[in-house]
């Protein structure tokens, strides 16, 4: 298995994301067979409104926004093939999702993948289960 690492840009995009979700992403980069990038982490309300207006999100209450605990509970990840994101290759997103979900299960964190949704399938999207709270 190739050993990948998160770029400085990907690490910067994890700023403000819940630490347990960051841990899952950092674990996944060490276990994946395909490199990936962090596309987006914590969003501003303005950015969320833009995405809703563009039809790329369906809610103003997304988990990319800062939650009550002060962190974003969602992250968008995309595989990199030859340095580019294969937006039309669903299998690559599914392969990445399998690794991320396995890493989350290993640490007992309930992560949902947007590719499993019934409507508006979102291959890059991973989120902590809505309403989840870290153990005190």
Mean pLDDT score of the chain: 93
Confidence at 132, pLDDT banded by 50, 70, 90: confident
Residue whose entry in the numeric block shows the structure tokens 């369906």? 58
So what's the pLDDT on residue 74? 96
**How many residues are there in the chain?**
136
Q: Report the alpha-carbon distance of residue 68 to residue 134 in Å, rounded.
A: 12
Q: Percent of the chain beyond pLDDT 70?
A: 97
Between the CA atoms of 95, 35, 32 and 28, what dihedral angle is there, to the nearest 10 degrees? -100
Collapse the DSSP code of 79 into the 3-class scheme (helix H, G, I; strand E, B; otherwise coil) and give the result: strand
What is the value of pTM for the model shown? 0.93
Q: What angle do CA 69, 73, 76 make, to 5 degrees?
A: 155
Mean pLDDT of 89-113: 96
pLDDT at residue 60 is higher than 90: no
If you search the block for the tokens 């950015």, which residue do you land on?
47
Taking 90 as the threshold, does the pLDDT of residue 59 lie above it? no
Q: What is the arithmetic mean of pLDDT over 19-47?
A: 96
What per-residue confidence (pLDDT) applies to 61? 82
As separate numbers, helices (DSSP H) first and strands (DSSP E) second, the chain gives: 4, 4
How far is the C-alpha of 101 from the C-alpha of 113, rounded, in Å?
A: 8
1 pLDDT more than 60: no
Strand stretches in the chain, DSSP E: 36-40, 74-79, 111-113, 125-128
More confident residue, 10 or 58: 10
């Amino acid at each position: 298995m190739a050993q990948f690492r998160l770029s400085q840009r990907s690490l910067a995009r994890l700023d403000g994301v819940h630490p347990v979700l960051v841990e899952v992403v950092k674990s996944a980069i060490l276990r994946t067979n395909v490199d990936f990038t962090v596309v987006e982490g914590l969003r501003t309300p303005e950015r969320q409104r833009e995405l809703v207006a563009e039809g790329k999100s369906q809610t103003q209450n997304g988990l990319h926004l800062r939650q009550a605990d002060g962190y974003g509970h969602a992250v968008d990840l995309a595989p990199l093939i030859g340095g580019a994101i294969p937006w039309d290759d669903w299998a690559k997103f599914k392969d990445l999702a399998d690794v991320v979900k396995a890493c989350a299960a290993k640490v007992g964190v309930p992560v949902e993948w947007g590719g499993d949704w019934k409507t508006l399938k979102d291959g890059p999207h991973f989120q902590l289960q809505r309403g989840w709270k870290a153990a005190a």
